Amino acid sequence: MTDDGAVAARRPPDVAGLAAGLGAAMHAAGLPVGPDRCERLARAVTVMPVRSVADLHACALATLVSDPGQVATFERVFAALFGTPAPPAPPGAAPHPAARQRPADPGGQRADGDGRTRLPESGRWLATADGPRPAPAADGDDTLREVPAIRQVASAAERLRGRDFTELSAAELRQLVTLMREMTMAVPQRRTRRHRDARNGKRPDLRGTLRRARRSGGEAIRIARRAPRTRPRRLVVLCDISGSMEPYARALLMLLYCLSGGPSRGGPRPEVFSFATRLTRLTQALAAASPDTMLAKAGEAAPDWSGGTRIGASIKQFNDRYGCRGMARGAVVLIISDGWETGDPALLGAQMARLSRVAHRIVWANPRTQSPRYSPEVGGMAAAWPYCDAVVSAHSIDALDDLLTALGAR
């Protein structure tokens, strides 16, 4: 791949340009396609994970065609643009105006008598970030048919799914926000002391039964029942922001923001703390307007960002001030750290035992566990391992599925 090709591969897809180019081609062929339909196509391509010509065809057919009589023209233009086989014409049908021979212009397109530009009858077009472009010569047709012509529409972030967070630049990390917003996090439910009306509830509701009896002349025809209400357990996150964990801390804080902290979600926000040499509460930072603003506020609030690591002392501070006072009671606790402890490992083991007695579940995200040869034999990780209900790597987008599964386990 040339340098220009590499730059184009890294550039985010221009979905708006593709929708506008395809809409202009359909409009030039006679379909009533305007800016409103182009906007709907762009939204459909953004929502649907378009990875092939067939996916783009489905989105375009649903958004650009409004009448069955327009389907034939749509299929003909789409085939000319993306090189797909054109549908057979019905018997006795008149040739489409765009298929008649006209003088060719220097750019390879054909012009009508009124000067309007039409699509070429032969040749194929590929969708690129700058709009539809002519495909290469026909001698490479077999090769081109094997490569998805719409690969520029597929999000560039999809190619970063398996890469370690330490290998990503700041710009590439921001591209992953789209994938993170598509994930869902469901922590286990817990019973509350309040009850709700339930047809199959185990607890009879005397007052509700009497209210219903008034409607039937005092006869209790149906017994009202109630069941306990449930609500999601609190999620508490302790994130290591030392030098060795800085790239992973940024990525996982962005994940927490996208899943529950963003203003568009409106769900319960987790309690987030950072630690390196001291403990800092970052819960308010997750209320920022964007992931970049959230990271900036987190960096300002934590003066020990990219510093040393004192895991045991930090967890002790959390237990003394927050955890054992109620915040961690019955909660799901997520600890993000590689386990490099510069303090006494015995202190970490004692504090993990203390935390496990009040928490519902402890999940440890350690990027070092991605190696099959990893074994927690020494240091802080060896002291904390017996008190963890689950240990995951969470080193890439693909590995985040294991993290979300561990958080949602009962």
Residue 110 burial (C-beta neighbours within 10 Å; 0-12, 13-18, 19+): middle
pLDDT for 84 equals 64
220, 286: one domain: no
Ramachandran angles phi, psi of 67, nearest 5°: -150, 140
Rounded CA gap, 385 and 366, in Å? 11
59, 79: one domain: yes
Distances (CA, A) of 226 to 200, 201, 229, 380: 8, 5, 9, 48
Which H/E stretch holds residue 382? helix 379-384
Tokens found for residue 43: 């939204």
The answer to whether the beta carbons of residues 364 and 390 sit under 8 Å apart is: yes
pLDDT for 125 equals 40
Which H/E stretch holds residue 236? strand 235-240
pLDDT tens digits in sequence order for the chain, 410 residues long: 444 444 444 445 678 888 888 888 888 888 888 888 888 888 888 877 777 888 888 888 888 988 888 899 989 888 888 766 655 554 444 444 443 443 344 334 444 444 443 433 333 344 443 444 444 444 444 433 433 434 444 446 667 888 899 998 888 888 888 888 888 888 899 988 898 989 888 889 989 999 889 888 888 888 999 999 999 999 999 999 998 899 999 999 999 998 875 444 445 689 999 999 899 999 988 888 888 899 899 989 988 887 778 999 999 999 999 999 999 999 999 999 999 888 899 999 999 999 999 999 999 999 999 988 898 887 889 999 999 999 999 999 999 999 999 999 88
What residues contact residue 400 under an 8 Å CB cut-off, 6+ apart? 180, 183, 255, 394
34, 94: one domain: yes
pLDDT for 88 equals 54
Q: Is residue 175 part of a domain?
A: no
3-state secondary structure 18-55: HHHHHHHHHHHCCCCCCHHHHHHHHHHHHHCCCCCHHH
17, 127: one domain: yes
What pairs with residue 247 in β-bridges? none
* 370: DSSP letter: G
Rounded CA gap, 81 and 66, in Å? 20
Q: Is residue 168 part of a domain?
A: no
Tokens found for residue 141: 């047709």
Which H/E stretch holds residue 296? helix 291-301
264, 397: one domain: yes
144, 225: one domain: no
315, 362: one domain: yes
Q: Is residue 123 part of a domain?
A: yes
The answer to whether the beta carbons of residues 162 and 398 sit under 8 Å apart is: yes
Residues of the domain holding 312: 180-185+233-408
403, 306: one domain: yes
259, 397: one domain: yes
Counting Cα atoms < 13 Å in the Cβ hemisphere of 214 gives 5
Nearest to 286 by CA among 300, 297, 301, 275: 297
3-state secondary structure 392-409: ECCCCCCCHHHHHHHHHC
Distances (CA, A) of 71 to 31, 108, 381, 386: 10, 25, 62, 63
What residues contact residue 299 under an 8 Å CB cut-off, 6+ apart? 305
Q: Please say which residue of 154, 172, 204 terminates a domain.
A: 154
pLDDT digits (tens, 9 = 90+) for 320-332: 999 999 999 999 9
Q: How many domains does the chain have?
A: 3
Q: Is residue 166 part of a domain?
A: no
The answer to whether the beta carbons of residues 161 and 200 sit under 8 Å apart is: no
Rounded CA gap, 83 and 100, in Å? 19
Q: Hey, is 86 helix, strand or coil?
A: coil
Q: Is residue 77 part of a domain?
A: yes
Q: Is residue 171 part of a domain?
A: no
Rounded CA gap, 362 and 407, in Å? 9
Burial 311-346 (b: 16+ CB within 10 A, else e): bbbbbbbbbeebbbeebbeebbbbbbbbbbbebebe
203, 300: one domain: no
Burial 366-376 (b: 16+ CB within 10 A, else e): bbebeeeeeeb
Nearest to 291 by CA among 323, 264, 325: 264
The answer to whether the beta carbons of residues 150 and 55 sit under 8 Å apart is: yes
Residue 396's CATH number? 3.40.50.410
pLDDT digits (tens, 9 = 90+) for 240-273: 999 889 999 999 999 999 887 544 444 568 999 9
201, 248: one domain: no
Q: Bin 249: left if φ > 0, else alpha if -120 < ψ < 50, else beta.
A: alpha
217, 253: one domain: no
Q: Is residue 169 part of a domain?
A: no
Q: Is residue 162 part of a domain?
A: no
